[in-house]
Amino acid sequence: MAIAKKLKAYLDTHNHKNYRLVRHPHSASSMETAEVAHVPGDCLAKGVVLKDATGYLVVVLPSDFHVELETLNEMTHREMHMASETELAELFPDCEVGAIPPLGMAYEIETLWDTSLGDKETVFFEAGDHESLVKVSGRHFHELMAPATRGLFSRRI
């Protein structure tokens, strides 16, 4: 697959092609991806899809962090819980389940990103399959995430 079509279109429109694809051995989780791709866990941004009665939310955090759901719910004034794999397949039809990009905006999904990603020189994230990452500079990641809200809602594993 290499890169999801919607993600590529979003990157080409909003990032002026200032990204690079990085191939890696097949992996099943974000922590495993960081390991096999030789990427620091705190520089690999993962997207976690949550939902409530009003809709979906993609939260973006480092791969070696967990969402503090109670903190997130207080911050958003919502009662969020994990979306199902069936819902992920419907929301991200051009991606493999478990390899969704953290740019919910490319899929017209509200996105919130954790401040712990704000100081990285380089950021990597899923390209839509289990063998490819997108690599961007920290500055370009900030530009890509500009439409998203920032907050502190996660902690290191």
**Could you read off the pLDDT of 89-139 as tens digits, one per residue?**
999 999 999 999 999 999 999 999 999 998 999 999 999 999 999 999 999
State which residues form the domain around 17: 5-156
Domain CATH for 36: 3.90.960.10
Does the pLDDT value for residue 17 go beyond 80?
Answer: no
What's the pLDDT at 76? 96
With residue 50 as reference, give the H or E element that holds it.
Answer: strand 44-52
Q: Which of 98, 102, 104 is nearest to 26 (CA)?
A: 98
Q: What is the pLDDT of residues 26-79, one digit of tens each?
A: 999 999 999 999 999 999 999 999 999 999 999 999 999 999 999 999 999 999
Does the pLDDT value for residue 1 go beyond 70?
Answer: no
In DSSP terms, 151 is beta-bridged to 114
Q: Rounded to two decimals, what is the model's pTM?
A: 0.95
Cβ burial of 81 (10 Å; 0-12, 13-18, 19+) is exposed
Please state the domain count of the chain.
1
Give the span between the Cα atoms of 92 and 100, in whole angstroms: 7
